[in-house]
Chain A
Amino acid sequence: MIAIPLVALVVGFTAVYLFLPAIPAEWGVYVSVAVLAGLDALIGGLRARLEGVFDEAVFLSGFFVNMVLATVLAYLGDKLGVEMYLAVVVALGIRIFTNLGRVRGLLIRARVERRA
């Protein structure tokens, strides 16, 4: 079952990689922060699942809203001459690491409990 999201990831990547033209260089940073926001939501969702509080509505809305928000912040920062994307990268980076740590802890605990 873990294969399904992985397959989806590969399909999405391949489809765009093969069939879509490259985007202008100035958009690069926006796509980067969007990817980071998406990754954060994904790992947040995993953690919620493991903690038993997963909810599709929260997960999906979080994914899209955070992605848009991160991009808009980065864009606004550009317009204002403040490198806001750095704030986005730092904030999301910390969250991703925290959540990954929790996921790891939960998985190890589950394994230990199963052995016991």
Chain B
Amino acid sequence: MPRTGVPGFWRGTLRQSEAGMNTGWRSGQRWMAAMAGVCLVLGALLGVQVRSQQQRGATESGRRAQALVGGLLTGARIQVENQQAEIERLREQVSRYEKEAADEKGMTRLMKEELQNYRVALGLMPVRGPGIELTLGDSTMRAGDTFGGQEVYVIHDWDLVQIANELWAAGAEAVALNGQRLVAGSAIVCSARLIEVNGVAISSPFTFLAIGDKANLMSALNIRDGSLDRLRVLQFQVKITPRDDIVIPALAVSPKYKLAQPVTKETSK
């Protein structure tokens, strides 16, 4: 038996050896086997815990931290790149205008193209592209369960506003809620027991369609303690599916401007 720092510890026990009651090698082996077995189980449990914690860190808080740091680092560079691209684009546009201003046909074609872009931005045209589909079903919980009355277990207008906000923040290029295109002037408000979007009443289940970078949108929605996390705690049926081809409809009623007047160089003076 190799000696350890403590005599009698591994062979037997202090009192037993003192009293001459040392149970000897056999009991020493059995005690070691018990210890080893327990350590094996304990090690396995630690393995489970560490592994899951790492995975969780990587998928949630890690993703958020990564997004933040990455955003900070690359934000400035991207901005510069974007502005350079914008300068390039404008320069090109100017030269094209100059070149095509000569014949009227070219001019109308250019204006048509530009008009097309604005129509997309204003939601006047349906668009398609890759993105995600998010459905929000009712909670399986009912009034009186754990968290409170019925008002806790229904989806409110502000829940939808938060989600739309998160989608825009994650870079969504076009968003629709239950078939209603969301644009700059879209309001999501509570009206009686229904929710109104663009003045059209909608009800549960709510389906968001968003065109944008699938991974970005997914991770933004799944952020820890985000609005979806909170809805999941209340057992709402939340389902996010990435899709390669999403068609988002045009705005049903185009916006009208009665009071707002465009400011041009002449009118601003």
Contact = CB atoms under 8 A, between A and B. Distances in A.
Interface of A: 1-2, 4-17, 20, 22-23, 25, 27-28, 31-32, 34-35, 38-39, 41-42, 45, 49-54, 56, 59-60, 63, 81, 106-107, 109-111, 114
Contacts of B13: 49-54
A61 B14 CA distance: 24
A48 B181 CA distance: 71
B44 A12 contact: yes
A107 B31 contact: no
Interface stretch (B52-60, B106-114, B209-217): B52-60
Contacts of B42: 9, 12, 35, 38-39, 42
B44 A13 contact: yes
A57 B42 CA distance: 18
B41 interface: yes
- Which bracket fits the contact residues of B? 35 or more
A73 to B, nearest CB: 16
A47 B83 CA distance: 70
Contacts of A25: 52, 56
Q: What 7 A-B pairs have minimum CB-CB distances, sorted nearest first?
A: A12-B43, A16-B47, A52-B13, A52-B15, A22-B55, A13-B43, A12-B44
B4 A2 contact: yes
Contacts of B39: 5-6, 8-9, 12, 42
B49 A110 contact: no
Given A5-B32, A45-B35, A52-B14, A20 B43 contact: no
28 contacts: A1-B32, A2-B4, A4-B36, A5-B39, A8-B40, A9-B39, A12-B46, A13-B47, A16-B43, A16-B44, A16-B48, A17-B50, A25-B52, A25-B56, A28-B52, A32-B49, A34-B45, A38-B45, A45-B38, A50-B9, A52-B14, A54-B31, A56-B30, A60-B38, A110-B6, A110-B7, A110-B14, A111-B5
B24 interface: no
B52 A12 contact: no
Contacts of B28: 1
- Most chain A beta-carbon neighbours within 10 Å: one of B16, B35, B37, B41: B35
Contacts of A51: 13-15
A15 B38 contact: no
Contacts, number: 141
Nearest to B45: A35
Given A2-B10, A25-B56, A110-B9, A15 B47 contact: yes
- Name B's interface SS: helix
B146 A81 contact: yes
B41 to A, nearest CB: 6
B38 A31 contact: no
Given A4-B35, A52-B14, A56-B34, A16 B51 contact: yes
A7 B44 CA distance: 12
Contacts of A20: 47-48, 51
A60 B37 contact: yes
A24 to B, nearest CB: 8
B73 interface: no
A12 B40 contact: yes
Contacts of B4: 1-2
A12 B15 CA distance: 33
Contacts of A6: 39
B1 interface: yes
A23 B44 CA distance: 13
A59 B41 CA distance: 14
Contacts of B144: none
